[in-house]
Amino acid sequence: MNLPPIVSPAEWDAAHAELLVKEKELTRARDALAAERRRLPRQAVTKDYRFDGPGGEVGLADLFEGRSQLIVYRFFFEPGVWGWPEAGCRGCSFGADQVAHLAHLNSRDVTLAFASRAPQEDIARYRERMGWEVPWYTITDDFDLDFGVDEWHGHNVFLRDGDEITRTYFVNARGDENMGTTWSYLDIAPFGRGEIWEDSPEGYPQTQAYVWWNLHDEYENATPFTRALEDDTAVQRGARST
């Protein structure tokens, strides 16, 4: 094995500093790409897509759970897929294990959901076995075909404004490898992270960075949205980095 050389602390610091320059460039490029993503044109959703859920039949609007933004991951768990009926796709299952606590997403008006063609009783059994909390629905029509996930996994992102639902983004294949953290989901959501440092279209909802972060079981006591806009509120979560 051709391992890198062992060097002095000073040499290591210098090499790390050189790499850090490139890593920061990548971070800034990722932020710029997310800003461009928030400016993508929207696609109108005109069909009345129906799903089976734990409580019965629901429409796409119901998957939002009262929020304005929705991310739907096409999870391959159904007849014909490896592991059926005891398990779902290994890749989809691997990804599901990476999902952060949903309370953080929900606090930013974002809902994450899974969708498969497995019956609800099979979904409930597998979901309980794996300990996942993500809402999981059964596809009953052409939703997967219409949104490019009939033969491959992927994340479709939607925005709801009253009765209007639009598709705002789609990522699949190796792009799904990056998903799982609260930040990765927010960066593909229509309104992004909702923090004032972000480059977003005028009028998008934004607060100070840090102030909305909370323990996942204490979001009912989170900083009110309007209050979070005030500079002095930032001290609740410590000093902001410069």
Do residue 179 and residue 239 come from a single domain? no
**pLDDT for 53 beyond 70:** yes
Do residue 62 and residue 182 come from a single domain? yes
d(CA 210, CA 138): 36
Do residue 55 and residue 124 come from a single domain? yes
Q: In the predicted model, what is the mean pLDDT of residues 3-19?
A: 98
- Answer yes or no: is 28 within a domain: no
User: CB burial class (10 A; 0-12, 13-18, 19+) of residue 3?
Assistant: exposed
Do residue 103 and residue 61 come from a single domain? yes
pLDDT at 227: 55
* Domain total in the chain: 2
pLDDT digits (tens, 9 = 90+) for 135-165: 999 999 999 999 999 999 999 999 999 999 9
Do residue 51 and residue 145 come from a single domain? yes
- Answer yes or no: is 233 within a domain: yes
Range of the domain at 230: 207-242
Do residue 161 and residue 102 come from a single domain? yes
Least-confidence region, from 54-58, 108-112, 125-129, 227-231:
227-231
pLDDT digits (tens, 9 = 90+) for 119-133: 999 999 999 999 999
pLDDT band at 232 (very low <50, low <70, confident <90, very high): low
Q: Which DSSP string corresponds to 134-189?
A: S-EEEE-SSHHHHTT-SSS-EEEEEEEETTEEEEEEEEEGGGGGG-SSHHHHHTTS
Q: Is the pTM of this model over 0.85?
A: yes
Do residue 226 and residue 131 come from a single domain? no
d(CA 181, CA 147): 23
Q: Please report, for the domain that includes residue 92, its CATH number.
A: 3.40.30.10
- Answer yes or no: is 14 within a domain: no
